[in-house]
């Protein structure tokens, strides 16, 4: 696992896809990210999460003071998160601001759903980076932090993420997970107050998916 940055207050990693951040409710004995990291770095505080199938930049606090400061930034939407995603098809727009309200844990599959009446406010900014024959690489910036937000907003726009079978994408051999990567994270260091930006390159499976139609 690649460590992007570390000091005595924070740990920033490039999370591989396929590993849950915390214990899975169905597989309590399966390996999870926090346990793996704490074996080498001691106690860590979770500030935000990435889905099991999502790769990319993730930050942990290494103390209670850092945890409080980082939590405040995330709660106030001051931490700037940028994702890269591969959508099925070709959207007609170049940029799109999506504000479908979302409700989590719907049905037996615990999906997140658009719910205009009971959903919580959610906002995602999409921008096309590159178009391919049957898919599109986009930048996605979530302004809120709802469960599966980018995935559901992409689905609601009619272009689910490649490989995201939970949200109606077709099964494909090109990639075996939702094509979503946390490309960068910009925030204020919880102790030094320095503005910092961390980035992670596309992992091999994500890059290979692009090359199939490149």
Q: Are 9 and 189 in contact (CB under 8 A)?
A: yes
- The DSSP call for residue 160 is P
Residue with tokens 């907003």: 153
Q: Are 45 and 170 in contact (CB under 8 A)?
A: no
Q: In a 3-state reduction of DSSP, which class is residue 182?
A: strand
User: Among the residues of 105-146, which ranges form H helices?
Assistant: none
Element at 206 (helix H, strand E)? helix 204-213
Q: Are 185 and 198 in contact (CB under 8 A)?
A: yes
The dihedral of CA 145, 147, 149, 150: what is its sign? positive
Q: Are 99 and 122 in contact (CB under 8 A)?
A: yes
| CA angle, 86 then 32 then 48, to 5° | 60
Residues marked as catalytic: 51
């Amino acid at each position: 696992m690649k460590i992007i940055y570390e000091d005595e207050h924070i740990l920033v990693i490039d999370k591989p896809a396929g590993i849950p951040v915390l214990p899975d409710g169905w597989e309590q004995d399966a390996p999870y990210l926090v346990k793996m990291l704490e074996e080498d770095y001691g106690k860590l505080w979770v500030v935000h999460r990435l889905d099991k199938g999502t790769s990319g930049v993730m930050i942990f606090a290494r103390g209670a003071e850092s945890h409080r400061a980082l939590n405040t930034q995330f709660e106030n939407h001051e931490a700037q998160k940028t994702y890269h995603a591969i959508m099925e098809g070709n959207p007609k727009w170049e940029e799109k601001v999506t504000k479908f309200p979302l409700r989590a844990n719907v049905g037996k599959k615990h999906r997140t759903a658009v719910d205009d009446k009971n959903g919580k406010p959610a906002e995602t900014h999409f921008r096309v980076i590159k178009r391919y024959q049957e898919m599109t690489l986009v930048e996605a910036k979530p302004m809120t932090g709802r469960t599966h937000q980018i995935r559901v907003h992409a689905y609601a726009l009619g272009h689910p993420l490649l490989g995201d079978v939970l949200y109606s994408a077709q099964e494909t051999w090109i990639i075996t997970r939702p094509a979503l990567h946390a490309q960068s994270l910009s925030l204020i260091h919880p102790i030094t107050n320095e503005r910092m930006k961390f980035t992670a390159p596309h992992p091999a499976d994500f890059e290979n998916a692009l090359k199939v139609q490149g």
